[in-house]
Homo-oligomer: A and B are copies of this chain.
Amino acid sequence: MKTIKIVKIGGNIINDEIALHSFLADFAQLKGPKVLVHGGGKLASELAKQLNIPVTMIDGRRVTDIQTLDLITMVYAGKINKQIVAQLQAHNANAIGFTGADGNTIVSTKRPAEPIDYGFAGDVVTVNPQILTVLINNEVTPVFCAITHDANGQLLNTNADTIASEIAIGLSAHFSTELYYCFEKSGVLSDVTDDNSIIEQITSESYAQLKADGVIFEGMLPKLDNCFHALKNNVHKVHIGSTTMLFNSKNKHTSLQLS
C-alpha cells in the first residue's frame, strides 16, 4: 500500500500569516499522497467580537449557537480554507478544500445537550473515503476544515484533531497512514516549563504511567487519546511535534506506538 501523510496544523500556524505561507510552501513539496487538516485560529473570535456575537467557551471548547456556526462556516470553510487552497496551488500542489459535507466525506451527529449543551457541535460517526481515495489517486491534496455535517442538511462544528484521526482511520483501508499533529511545541514534554524535555517515544503502556504520574495532563489528554484511538484503528504511525518534523526526519518529536 502507498503511504499517505495526514497532517493537522493548529492555531499557532493559522494565526501567523508568514508562518502559514512558509509552511504551505514546504508542505506543497512533500512527496507522495497527503491530506491537510486545519483548525480555526483566533480569526473567528475576532470576527465574533466585531459582529457582537458572544463567544462562550467551556473547557476550551467553543459553544456553537446558530450565529456562531454561520461565523465559523464563513471563517473556517471560507476565508482560511480557500486561502490555504490558493497558496498550495501557487506552489503546484493541486488542493481541494473540504468540509465533511463535501463528498459526504465525514458524517457526524449533534452532540447531546446533556450534560453540557455545546450547540451545533458534531461527533464523528462515519468517514466515507471513496471520493477522497479517487482524488488522492489523481494527485489531489484534500484540505479539511473543522466542519462536518449530519447528512440531513445540518453543518456541525467538529474538533480538528478528531477530524484528522478519523480521516486517517478511514483512509487506512486504502493506504498506509501516517498521522502528524503539528502544534506550538516540539513534542510532548515531560516538563512543561522545559521545551527541550521532549518524550521521543510514548507507548500505550507508558502513556498510562505518564497519566498516572500527572506528567501528561489537561489539553494534552484528548490529543493523545485521539492518537491512540487512531493507532488502535489501523493508523500506521502517529507523530506529535512542530511542523519541522515533517521536513527534517532528524528533528526531535514524539512518536506514538501501541506497545
Contact = CB atoms under 8 A, between A and B. Distances in A.
Contacts of A153: 86-87, 89-90
Contacts of A86: 101, 149, 153-155
Interface string A103-140: 11000000000000000000000000011001100101
Describe A's contact surface by its main secondary structure.
Answer: helix
B77 A70 contact: no
Interface residues of A, number: 41
Contacts of A101: 82, 85-86, 89, 95, 97
A207 interface: no
Contacts of A149: 86, 89
B82 A79 contact: no
Given A73-B79, A74-B75, A78-B79, A95 B102 contact: yes
A33 to B, nearest CB: 15
A201 B185 CA distance: 66
Contacts of A79: 70, 73-74, 78
A94 interface: yes
Interface in A139-191: 140, 147, 149, 151-155
A96 interface: yes
B94 A155 contact: no
| Most chain B CB atoms below 10 A, which of A50, A87, A97, A130 | A97
A228 interface: no
A77 B50 CA distance: 20
A114 to B, nearest CB: 25
Nearest to A90: B153
B70 A99 contact: no
Contacts of A102: 82, 85, 95-97
Contact of A131 (B74, B76, B135): B135
A51 interface: yes
Contact of A134 (B90, B130, B134): B134
A253 B94 CA distance: 39
Contact of A78 (B78, B94, B154): B78
A83 interface: yes
A143 to B, nearest CB: 9
A137 to B, nearest CB: 9
A167 to B, nearest CB: 15
Q: Sort A-B residue pairs by CB-CB distance and give the 4 closest, nearest first.
A: A78-B78, A74-B74, A90-B153, A74-B78
